[in-house]
Amino acid sequence: MKLSPLQTARYQYQPKLPGMLRNGVSEICVEEGEPTQSVADQEKIRELFPNTYGKKEIVFKKGKNTSKAGKQVVGVILSGGQAPGGHNVICGLYDALKTTNKDNVLYGFKNGPIGILNDDYVVFDDEFINEYRNTGGFDIIGSGRTKLETEEQFEVAAEVCRRHGINAIVIIGGDDSNTNAAVLAEYFAAHKTGVQVIGCPKTIDGDLKNDDIECSFGFDTATKTYSELIGNIERDANSAKKYWHFIKVMGRSASHVALECALQTQPNICLVGEEVAAKKMSLNEIAEYITDSVANRAARGMNFGVAIIPEGIVEFIPEFSVLIAEINELLAGAKADEFNALPTWQEKYEFIEKGITPESMKVFALLPQGIQQQLFLERDPHGNVQVSLIESEKLFSALVKEKLAQRKKAGTFKGKFSAQHHFFGYEGRCAFPSNFDADYCYSLGYNASMLILYGYTGYLSKVSNLSKPAEQWVAGGMPITKMMNIERRNGKDKPVIRKALVELDGKPFQYFAAHREQWAVETDFVYPGAIQYYGPAEVCDATTRTLALEKE
């Protein structure tokens, strides 16, 4: 296989570990904290997790290792969407296992959770692992979205573990994957299988975070990758001076990615879904807000700009959420076949008009026809609108264009408006991990091995104090149940990890809110440039602006 010079160089990079994990396994001991409880619905969560609920948070310290000696056979699973640094979690886990005992074994189950159900695996060795150090992607074993949530699946997993002598499973995933890890850990504990389960916090969306998990891995690299691209577009916009660029970025359930990119690049407009929901902003109000920026800049002779739109923005708009709910209800069951059988869009439009409330029809009528039709594209497995398929960047530029035409007719707008559209998603999921993500992920994997060594189960590998140099990072673990609450999913109450939304009273958003009026009118673009791997620490090891502001 032909390697790029960067790939060759990255193979040689030695990730930095928290100071405590550098002491050698024999000098790492455990300090236990207070018992924990879930963030909400404590009695229900306790009832569902009687064997793993209420456990103590732990921190690794320098001291005599008191864990039980013995061979460790561990399985690892990559679950869900890709995020930069996943390979380094596995490399850190492997290195820690081999440092503890050269006879320890690491199994990699292929293509996500389905790998353990199908007993489809690879046994890692030095040669295999060395090809993936500090590289992006999940191609080391592949990933998948199969959920581990039924007793039949748990028993198959337990049997596979028995067959190979596996005593621990590490699941690398987001909130849903780590919820599954918690349920699997509870089943294994209740049935006395002797198999531990450890989770690692992954998602580029940044919504797996709380007071304990300061940052999910991959967020740093992905936002720096998107910010480089946004900065390039800003430079182009400021050079050509004739286009408004509407840029959609990842983040369906939370706007962390959009906010971080705005903090790094200072665009003219950035929508934050959580604010839209809190202020109950209408589609029309949002369009007016963007239009005002376009008009004000045009009045200064600047017929160009940049707007960042989070992927899931429409779900935060109250009237749009109601519209989507009504469409989901309208097309439930046999009605979907009746709708799809209609030969023309006009007939489908009349079907919709008869089936939803007049209030929702007003919202629907505002939408450009292309966006209207996107609401009726292929449904998800539950029969619902796939919001991620809605081209919200085109929706808002079309609404702005229409409003500017009205203002021009009224004589209040004399500028020009021409739009370009972009969606940055896959571009960031498998990028070469930044030094931060390379170090953080390696530390998470190494730390997971320590949790296994000390017999913990149902825990999330936790590395904190991340705004400081890696030497000062703190390694430990927290019970996954601490992050859980009960939510209604598909008509049933289910325990899930609570998603972390952008906090409107938090320092990152407050900084953004204090500067956005100036950014909306001025050209205060910042050009972050490409991720740097070699050079001054303040350039190469810098964390996200979000984390830096949160820890000020």
Rounded to whole angstroms, the Cα distance separating 314 from 173 reads: 26
Whether the Cβ atoms of residue 124 and residue 106 lie closer than 8 Å to each other: yes
Token look-up 């993500």 returns 437
Token look-up 């690794």 returns 60
Which tokens belong to 9? Answer: 């160089």
Which tokens belong to 49? Answer: 């997790």
- One of 95, 175, 176, 205 is an active-site residue; which one? 205
Rounded to whole angstroms, the Cα distance separating 459 from 73 reads: 18
Per DSSP bridges, beta strands 105-109 and 73-78 are: parallel
* H helix or E strand, kind and range, residue 191: none
Per DSSP bridges, beta strands 305-310 and 244-249 are: parallel
Nearest in space to 431 (alpha carbons), one of 284, 199, 224, 161: 224
- Identify any residues that bridge with 96 across adjacent strands, giving them in sequence order: none
Rounded to whole angstroms, the Cα distance separating 216 from 105 reads: 27
Whether the Cβ atoms of residue 428 and residue 222 lie closer than 8 Å to each other: yes
Whether the Cβ atoms of residue 197 and residue 451 lie closer than 8 Å to each other: no
Residues near 543 by beta carbon (within 8 Å), at least 6 away in sequence: 215, 220, 436, 466, 467
Residue 236 appears among annotated catalytic residues: no
Which amino acid, one-letter code, is at 273? G
The CA-CA-CA angle for residues 86, 81, 232, to 5°, reads 85
- Identify any residues that bridge with 169 across adjacent strands, giving them in sequence order: 75, 197
Rounded to whole angstroms, the Cα distance separating 253 from 311 reads: 8
Rounded to whole angstroms, the Cα distance separating 226 from 233 reads: 11
Nearest-10 Cα torsion for 156, 159, 160, 162: 160
Which amino acid, one-letter code, is at 92? G
Nearest in space to 89 (alpha carbons), one of 141, 37, 46: 141
Rounded to whole angstroms, the Cα distance separating 139 from 126 reads: 17
Q: Side-chain half-sphere of 244: how many Cα atoms within 13 Å? A: 28
Residues near 32 by beta carbon (within 8 Å), at least 6 away in sequence: 56, 57, 58
Whether the Cβ atoms of residue 314 and residue 272 lie closer than 8 Å to each other: no
Nearest in space to 178 (alpha carbons), one of 57, 79, 111, 59: 79
Rounded to whole angstroms, the Cα distance separating 112 from 138 reads: 10
Whether the Cβ atoms of residue 283 and residue 529 lie closer than 8 Å to each other: no
Rounded to whole angstroms, the Cα distance separating 525 from 188 reads: 53
The CA-CA-CA angle for residues 291, 292, 298, to 5°, reads 90
Would you please indicate which residues are annotated as catalytic (active-site) residues? Answer: 205
